[in-house]
């Protein structure tokens, strides 16, 4: 079991207008509320601490400019944050001190450009005060094999972007990490992502059945199951049922005797046993 969280945005912005889980009245009331329903980090730390497991957080510093005339692009550019934002840098350091791994969530177009990827890696390392060895590209953008080559060139030891955006399961029947460049650089495939599971929401029981089938497949194949739950979805009011399913995944896999680790843990384990 490899547990991961992508930190796409740290606060709710245009979603107050475009999305509401509790109806229009609540949506309008929330325009005037204080607080940050997308923060999520304390909830994850408490939950994973209870299970005595750790995960990898991939932080994003998006460079794509805002175009207010293209609402479809708002998800890429509205609500951006920087690594050196005081609150962001504090949570990065707190997570690191307490055993969670910090990785880079490469910006939308960084899959193409080595210099952009290098800049983002350097800026995150300056905040963290340590080397960043892992990456997952935003939107799982991969230009194969170009993206892997530039990731390796700038010093990443692994990537965790090989998976599906809109469905769950094992892409190309990859049940284990693999070396896409025939060197030490490792790909850690993604299997279960929250957005793909809940995109056509038919109820928590249906979602859980899908997760359970993937868990059984991973166990049968003696494979790696990598899970991605964004930190913003651990708010029951905003995303009802999402954190419950994540908790059930942890419980089920723990009862089945799974090994739990960060992406770094998985890489270290893989390298030791090759």
79 close to 11: Cβ distance less than 8 angstroms: yes
Give the mean model confidence (pLDDT) for residues 212-222. Answer: 98
Strand order in the sheet with 101-106: 186-187, 158-159, 134-137, 101-106, 56-60, 2-7, 226-228, 192-193
Q: What percent of the chain has pLDDT over 70?
A: 86
What is the per-residue pLDDT across 128-185, written as a single tens digit (0 to 9) for each? 999 999 999 999 999 999 999 999 999 999 999 999 999 999 999 999 999 999 999 9
Write down the pLDDT at residue 31: 42
What is the per-residue pLDDT across 181-214, written as a single tens digit (0 to 9) for each? 999 999 999 999 999 999 877 788 999 999 999 9
- State the pLDDT confidence band at 73, using cuts at 50, 70 and 90: low
Higher pLDDT: 160 or 74? It is 160
**106 vs 99: CA distance, rounded Å:** 22
Write down the pLDDT at residue 11: 87
Predicted structure pTM score = 0.90
Write down the pLDDT at residue 199: 87
Write down the pLDDT at residue 74: 62
What is the per-residue pLDDT across 93-109, written as a single tens digit (0 to 9) for each? 999 999 999 999 999 99
For the chain, the domains span 2-272
109-124 burial: b if 16+ Cβ within 10 Å, else e? bbbeeeebbebbbebb
Q: Is the pLDDT of residue 4 over 70?
A: yes
At what angle are helices 204-220 and 242-255 packed, to 10 degrees?
30
Q: Does domain 2-272 fall into CATH 1.10.3720.10?
A: no
**261 vs 263: CA distance, rounded Å:** 7
- Of 83, 139, 78, 70, the C-alpha closest to 111 is 139
Q: Which residues pair with 105 in a beta bridge?
A: 60, 136
């Amino acid at each position: 079991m490899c547990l991961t969280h992508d930190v796409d945005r740290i606060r709710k912005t245009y979603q107050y207008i475009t999305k509401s889980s509790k109806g229009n009245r609540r949506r309008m009331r929330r325009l005037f509320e204080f607080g940050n329903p997308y923060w999520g980090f304390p909830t994850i730390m408490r939950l994973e601490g209870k299970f005595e497991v750790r995960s990898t957080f991939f932080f994003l510093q998006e460079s794509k400019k805002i175009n207010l005339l293209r609402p479809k692009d708002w998800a890429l550019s509205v609500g951006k944050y920087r690594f050196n934002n005081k609150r962001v840098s504090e949570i990065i350091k707190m997570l690191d001190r307490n055993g969670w791994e910090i990785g880079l969530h490469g910006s939308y177009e960084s899959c193409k450009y080595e210099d952009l990827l290098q800049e983002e890696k350097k800026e995150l390392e300056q905040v963290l005060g340590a080397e960043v060895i892992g990456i997952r590209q935003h939107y799982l953008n991969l230009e194969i094999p170009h993206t892997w080559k530039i990731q390796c060139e700038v010093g990443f030891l692994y990537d965790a972007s090989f998976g599906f955006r809109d469905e769950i399961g094992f892409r190309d029947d990859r049940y284990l990490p693999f070396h896409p460049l025939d060197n030490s650089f490792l790909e850690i495939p993604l299997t279960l992502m929250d957005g793909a599971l809940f995109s056509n929401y038919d109820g928590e029981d249906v979602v859980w059945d899908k997760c359970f089938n993937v868990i059984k497949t991973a166990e049968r194949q003696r494979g790696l199951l990598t899970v991605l739950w964004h930190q913003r979805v651990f708010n029951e009011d905003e995303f009802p049922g999402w954190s419950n399913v994540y908790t059930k995944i942890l419980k089920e896999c723990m009862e089945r005797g799974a090994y739990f680790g960060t992406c770094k843990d998985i890489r270290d384990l893989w390298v030791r046993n090759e």
